[in-house]
Chains A and B, each alone.
Chain A
Amino acid sequence: MALGQYIGIRRFGLLANAKWSPPSKEVRGFMNCDWVQQNITLYLYNELADDARHELEQHVARCISCATELNGQREFQDAMSSLAVPDVTPSFLAASRMRLQESVEQIQPHRAWYQRLAFDPSGWLRQVRFSPALATILFLVGFGGGIGTMYQAMSGKATAPSPSAVAESSIAPVEGSISGITSIQRDPASNQIKVQYDKLTPESVQGSVTDPKIQGLLLAAAKSGENAGVRMNSVDALKGKSDDPRVRETLTYSLRYDSNPGVRLQALEGLGGLVKDDIRVRNAVLDALLNDSNLGVRSGALHSLEPVKADSSVRMALQQLAKEDPSDYIRQQSKQLLASMPNMY
């Protein structure tokens, strides 16, 4: 059997000196074979205008030569489609996303000057979190300063600060925590060292979740808190306020990216009532259903999606899960949801 016969290619004939030309009134008025054969590709790719399409079909029905050309082009396209390029697997896509996410966290978008000046508490917390060198410096300075103060206090030799130090700052650096040292300058003449630093004094604040200051802190803690307990408490406090777009965005972020399944579950609980009205929330819950590593989060997502089970993307996901999910529970629940749906067709 010849290769061409196997794939159904009987003719890959080419048009002599052919060049594609746009439809013109003259040609269209008297549809000729040249025009038809030059536009068969566009016809098969559904790129011809409706009237030109109709005329081409009429012509091909009565012209053997053009019908043969049409078959040849169709078979060529079928042959090209038979080159099965491996598709992107979910794991390949997930690996690519993970790699991108890591890179995005390390860079900042180009910002206008006024945006650069704006203070972003969550970004700042992230910076502190990911700066081990800064943490080491803080520790050493704090430790050294503490020893020095203790020595001075015990020996009773504490002296008044020099006039020059007083001139710069009335508070000794060791009295508060230092959040960062911005510059160190040494004056060779006087052998004095000038250290410029920022202070971070522990504080607490109390108020209701509707208080903008409290809410701002909760939003920052939900995204950047190093302690999973802090993040969970923040999300728990925020979940009743999911009507607020900023809270909603933070809960969506936690559902997608938090490393702790408990936090993700809390976020899911907060978002549950919004899947019907907010497409972004629905997408995040759908993503959790398909990709979350925790079965509890996945089954929670499955139940959250019940009000929108007729949505085409949700239906497709349910069909996929009912067919091939490794978890018996998810498979069974997906089947039940699908069975309870009205017949769409």
Chain B
Amino acid sequence: MPADAVAVPLTISPVTPVRDTGETCFVTTSYKRGIAERAQIRMNDAELIREAQRGNHAAFEELVRQYDAPVLRLAYHMTRSEQDAQDIYQEAFLKAYRNINNFRFECSFYTWIYRIVTNLCLDYLRKRQVRKEDSTVVSDGEGETYDLLDQVADQRSGASPEKDLMRRELGGRIAKALNKLTPRERMVFEMKHYQGLKLRTIGDILNTTEETAKNTLFRGTQKLRAALKDMR
């Protein structure tokens, strides 16, 4: 079934991609304002979508600009390759563009575009699992490859060589542990831990229930802890 052909009930669940930790207070302290802002965003989105459905190219560009940064970030985190992330980003928005006339406002555009991109990422992970790729080596847009662990060390250049070494080792272990998860567990963990989405939203995006998303997160977390348990 194509990613964009699925209808879900209208939801006003919190869909703002805000990390739970640290930034949550920003949302909750102005709860009423948050609801009003979300309603405004949805209203603006609805206008843009209608315009895009009438063939207004600029309106679609505006929609892309509102959502493309988190979409690209998700794809980049999942693939760890600029080229692959860009391919997924491209395919997701082209799918959205081709099918914009089929959008029936049964869910938010946010959920819709995330649903498309998560399906593409899941396909990518499934294919990669078949190829048994679990290297921490990633490639950038110019085809240059580098080890993810070197990147981890670079970002903490102020640290001592000993700490750098340990951080690299830790990064390598974590990357391998993440690669051992099923694509769905990996996706739920990514959306919860790194993207900070609510489990209810994750359930909507993955066309499942919040309870199932909780179970998947729990299973994924347990597997990760098992893979890293000897790190004392």
Contact = CB atoms under 8 A, between A and B. Distances in A.
Interface string B171-205: 10011000000000000000011100011000000
A109 B97 contact: yes
B60 A104 contact: yes
B76 interface: yes
Interface stretch (A78-86, A132-140, A200-208): A78-86
B51 A42 contact: no
Interface stretch (A94-102, A157-165, A174-182): A94-102
Interface in A60-85: 72-73, 76-77, 79-85
A3 B166 contact: yes
Given A41-B218, A80-B193, A4 B232 contact: yes
Contacts of A249: 51, 56, 58-59
A92 B218 contact: no
B220 to A, nearest CB: 10
A115 B72 contact: no
B187 to A, nearest CB: 15
Given A12-B231, A80-B174, A95 B194 contact: no
B126 interface: no
Interface stretch (A14-22, A26-34, A145-153, A320-328): A14-22
B225 interface: yes
Contacts of A115: 54-55, 101
Majority DSSP secondary structure for residues of A touching B: helix
B97 A107 contact: yes
A96 B97 contact: no
Interface residues of A, number: 68
A14 B218 contact: no
A3 B169 contact: yes
Contacts of A344: none
Contacts of B129: none
Interface in B6-28: 20-21, 24
Nearest to B136: A83
A46 B20 contact: yes
Interface of B: 20-21, 24, 40, 44, 48, 51-62, 64-66, 68-69, 72-73, 76-77, 80, 82, 86, 89-90, 93-94, 97-102, 141, 148, 151-152, 155-156, 162-163, 166-167, 169-171, 174-175, 192-194, 198-199, 211, 214-215, 217-219, 221-222, 224-226, 228-232
Given A14-B225, A83-B170, 13 more contacts: A4-B232, A6-B170, A13-B225, A20-B214, A20-B217, A46-B24, A76-B221, A76-B225, A76-B228, A82-B152, A84-B151, A109-B97, A249-B51
Interface of A: 1-7, 9-15, 18-20, 22, 38, 41-42, 45-47, 72-73, 76-77, 79-88, 92-93, 95-97, 99-101, 103-105, 107, 109-112, 115, 118, 120, 123, 249-250, 252-253, 256-257, 279-280, 283, 287
List 4 A-B pairs, minimum CB-CB distance, nearest first.
A20-B218, A4-B232, A253-B58, A46-B20
